[in-house]
Structure 1
Amino acid sequence: MPTVLYLKELMARDSSPLTPRSYGMDLLRWFRFLWVLGVEWDRATREDARDFMLWMKVADKPVRVHWRHRGKAPSEIPPPRSDRPVPGTPNPVTGKPTVGTKYSPRTRAHCETVLRQFYDFHLDGNVGALLVNPFPLVRERRSARPGSHSDGEKKHRNRRTGLYRPTVPQQIPRRIPDEKYTEVFAGLRSHRDRALLAFWVATGARAEELLTAKQGGAIVGEQTIGVIRKGSREYQELPATPDAFVWLRLYQEAAWKMGVPRGRHHPLWWTLRRPWRPLEYDAARMMFNRANELLGANWTLHDLRHTATFLMLDDPNMPPVYVQKILGHKYLSTLDIYNCPTRDDVIAAGLAHHARQEQRRKEPPVPVDEPSYNPDSLSILFGRNVS
């Protein structure tokens, strides 16, 4: 199978374990489209690729059936809750758009990139009857006149991209306000969940990175916790707050009494019910979503990482280069997205401006003295005798 060869190539490149799964879902979507048309994968043309990208633009995403409703008739499935926002509309609490029914531009762009690389891989290996890549690149444009732009802008403008790749709008990171974070924290059900939330906001680690921590990696004396970085796969110790270690200790004492495996090389985070299993990302995400539902919010686990970044950058005594190292970014320029004003900051500044204007209207007008003239100056101007 051509997909098996390509996925093996990804695994040989030491990519993340989640990468083959993500790429495989995009390939499956493309192959299903070709099966409906009755076209072999190595016979696909540019028109087929164009129609596929158009289909992704207008088609509805498949609805995942809840495991409690599998095998039931449509009449037995309860209707969706009426208090939830309409898909694709902004959440009333966070302002973030809810998940829509259509494929997002980011999903379509990712799919186009995966398919283009898939065909490039088989073109290099001369597999099947493939002659051209149905997902071509945009023809390289002529550069502008010398000296009209900086070198970085030229490189960005002349960088070749996919012909059918949609434009992905830049997303400004969002932070969870302090009062809302307190409400989310209060809605958690266990010491484990409170410890997880405290460590995510304190360290700025990615959700899956913190879940890789071992019991021996949480060093209370040094106030650090060790994680495996997503990109480099390196082990890094991250500083945390004392409150996070307090919640961690409460969780560990209760978990060990119930029989959770104990040892330096055992995972730090476990499920709360038997049989004991290491806590995975999907379970942690559902835990956070349950706390969100109490507020009617739609924050994600990655918003906790953004919140930690804003808190560190707001500290004038925290150099940005240290923030970069804590977050595990390769380049310092990655932090530039946090310099853009957020939605909440823009709205707060606009409301403050309107409040100042309203206050000026209510203030009494300042009296202005009538202009007076010097008599001697008038005499000289009109030729009068000055006594």
Structure 2
Amino acid sequence: MPGEEGPGRDLRNFVLPEIGKLLETGDPWEPYQLLDPFGRPVEPVRVYFKDLLAGPYSPLTPRSYGMDFLRWWRFLWAFEIEWDRATRVDARDFTLWMKLADKPLRVHWRHRGKDPSEIPAPSRTGRPAPGTPNPVTGKPTIGAKYAPTTWAHCETALRTFYDWHLDNNSGSLLVNPFPLDCSRHRGRRRPSAQGKQGRPGERANAHHNPMDEFQTDQKGRYRPKVPKRIPRRIPEDKYTEVFASLRSHRDRALLAFWVSNGARAKELLSPKQGDAKVGQQTIGVIRKGTEDYQELPANLDAFVWLRLYQEEAWKKGVPQGRHQPLWWTLRRPWRPLEYDAARMMFKRAQGLLGSNWTLHDLRHTATFLMLDDPDMPPVYVQHILGHKHLSTLDIYNRPSKDDVIAAGLAFHARQEQKRQNPAPVVPSPAYNSDSLNILFGRQPS
């Protein structure tokens, strides 16, 4: 309830209510709206979204932030707390709930409004438990709790949101319920009467080397430590099995492009039919974030499968033209292919293998293939992938778990071979007595 302190709020059995929603409007001036349980837009979020759209952010940023805001507002609505009256105790309880509680289960649209006893329990036969590694890929399956990345993104979005409203004096807001952790500020110390260098009262970064960049390590008090992800590549034999399980030329062309040019999954769905230039062996995509147009090289097999798909699609009546989308659905009514449909296509293709690779793993696979070529400069790989900094490729220098295990097993195999086939003992050569006599000036015997 409002003003209730943390020790009196029991969150063990708390269930986040499914009230309110994030609405996609289709209006470029206001693409997303956060609606309250009565269908009214939440005004502080609406104003903040307008500021995000005016800034140097992607048009999808309001959607990413909106999912975090919806989760936070549902928590506030459940305890009848106004957004500008939320305290750090409320933020602490919300963060603790995200850390320890299970994620809310989504009810299928066919079962909405039904009694829970009438909903059949989903079958888990043959499926690994949530969070356990996949037996084929080694990647953990989706867990029952919120991932640290989701928790960290939510904390950053809410802290930034409240900081913006504090700067604009919105409502009756006095403090940010999601504060920074001052104990983590490197080089900062509390002011005191001593003002000499090397003592607690010195200014921040007093001994900073001007040749180095400043450390921006300000973190939120409730922000978790996000583990560094190691990119995974799809083995060649497994990729061949997945490719063989595809059902259409369109899907084969998509996979061939993804694994050859390293484009992001949604970027490859952006080209028009005129952007696929067979003579130049390039395909033009719209880059994520910057929205820039860039031509990417691809292998010949991808264009062969693309041509087979186009011949088949045009005979069925798929719209044809240079300014028409390149990828379409396989059934009428014809619609441009979207990301969710492409993701489900790749998921179905892995059904026989029982693997859980994602479309982004195809991008990682393409990156590994390019970096393994000694004649391919990393700076070219950086531009093909669309990274801003060359240092982003450093993550591909970290060995994966499979690489470490393979290297360790190879070491033990070499040691075992040495024990079974020991090298022959070569006797050390004896000294020449005449040489020793000359060296020490002795008379020969």
| TM-score, structure 2 as length reference | 0.80
1:181 matched to which residue of 2?
239
- Are positions 1:114 and 2:157 aligned together? yes
Residue in 2 that maps onto 1:53: 95
Q: Which moved more, 1:169-178 or 1:55-64?
A: 55-64
- Secondary structure at the counterpart of residue 237 of structure 1: strand
Alpha-carbon separation, structure 2, partners of 1:370 and 1:234: 71
**Which of 193, 214, 221 in structure 2 is aligned with 1:155?**
214
Alignment partner for residue 169 of structure 2, among 108, 126, 133?
A: 126
The answer for the alignment partner of 1:138 in structure 2 is 181
Deviation at 1:211, TM superposition (A): 0.4
| Greater Cα shift, 213-222 or 10-19 | 10-19
5+ long unaligned stretches in structure 2? 1-42, 190-197, 199-204, 436-442
Matched residues in 2 for 1:134 and 1:298: separation?
A: 38
Q: Is the 8 Å Cα contact of residues 234 and 365 (structure 2) preserved in structure 1?
A: yes
> Which residue identity is paired with 2:166?
L
| Paired position in structure 1 for 2:146 | 103
Matches within 5 A, 1:1-387: 1-13=43-55, 15-67=57-109, 69-70=111-112, 74-139=117-182, 140-142=185-187, 155-156=214-215, 159-364=217-422, 366-367=424-425, 369=427
Is contact 1:309-1:323 (8 Å) kept? yes
Amino acid at match of 2:136: V
The superposition leaves residues 76-135 of structure 1 with CA deviations (integer Å, 9 ceiling, x where unpaired) of: 525323211111011111111111000011000000000001101111211110011111
Query: What SS does the aligned partner of 1:294 have?
Result: coil
SS state at 1:31 partner: helix
Query: CA 1:226 to 1:371, structure 2 compared with 1: closer, same or farther past 3 Å?
Result: closer
Equivalence for 2:31 = none
Q: CA 1:172–1:36 in structure 2 vs 1: closer, same or farther (change >3 Å)? A: same
| Distance in structure 1 (CA, Å) of the matches to 2:170 and 2:353 | 53
- Per-residue deviation, residues 189-212 of structure 1 (Å, max 9, x unmatched): 111110000001111000010000
Sort the Cα spacing of 1:54 and 1:187 in 2 relative to 1 into closer, same or farther, 3 A.
same
SS across alignment from 2:214: helix
Structure 1 residue ranges without an equivalent (≥5):
378-384
Query: What SS does the aligned partner of 2:294 have?
Result: strand
Shift of 1:45: 0.9
Contact in 2 for aligned 1:227/1:235 (Cα 8 Å) = yes
> Alpha carbons of 1:149 and 1:105: their partners in 2 closer, same or farther (altered >3 Å)?
farther
How far apart in 1 are the matches of 2:380 and 2:429?
Answer: 61
Letter in 2 for 1:253: E
1:225 Cα shift?
Answer: 0.3
Query: Cα gap change, 1:8/1:91 in structure 2, threshold over 3 Å: closer, same or farther?
Result: same
- For 2:102, the aligned partner's letter is D
Letter paired with 1:110? H
Conserved? CA contact 2:58–2:290, under 8 Å: no
Question: What are the Cα deviations for residues 149-194 of structure 1, in whole angstroms up to 9, with x where unaligned?
Answer: 97798733x5211111101000011110111110111111111110
Length-normalised TM-score, structure 1: 0.91
Distance in 2 (CA, whole Å) between partners of 1:169 and 1:3 is 30
Conservation of the 8 A alpha-carbon contact between 1:143 and 1:154? no
Greater RCO (Cα-Cα under 8 Å, separation 6 or more): 1
**Percentage identity across paired residues of the two chains:** 71
Per-residue deviation, residues 317-356 of structure 1 (Å, max 9, x unmatched): 1111110110011111111111111222111101101111
Give me the CA root mean square deviation. Answer: 2.6
How far the C-alpha of 1:7 sits from its partner, in A, is 1.5
352-361 or 368-377: which moved more? 368-377
Letter in 2 for 1:7: F
Work out the CA distance in 1 between the residues paired with 2:348 and 2:414: 40
Per-residue CA distance 1:33-74 (angstroms, 9 max, x = gap): 112222111011111111111110011112223445556654
Deviations 1:9-31 (A, max 9, x none): 22222532322111111001111
CA contact (8 A) 2:148 2:225 kept: yes
Displacement after TM superposition at 1:369 (Å): 4.5
In structure 2, relative to structure 1, the CA distance for the partners of 1:307 and 1:130 (3 Å cut) is same
Cα distance 1:39–1:218, how it changes in 2: closer, same or farther (>3 A)? same
1:386 is displaced (CA, Å) by 8.8
Superposed CA deviations along residues 250-284 of structure 1, whole A, max 9, x for unmatched, are: 11111111111111111101111111111111110
User: What letter is aligned with 1:203?
Assistant: N
Match for residue 380 of structure 1? none
Q: How many residue pairs align between the two structures?
A: 381
Q: What is the CA–CA distance in structure 2 between the aligned matches of 1:78 and 1:56, rounded to whole Å?
A: 25
> Cα–Cα, structure 1 residues 123 and 370, in superposed 2: closer, same or farther, change >3 Å?
closer
**2-structure distance, mates of 1:318, 1:376:** 61
> Are the structure 2 counterparts of residues 193 and 151 from structure 1 closer, same or farther at C-alpha, using a change threshold of 3 Å?
farther
What is the deviation of 1:364? 4.4
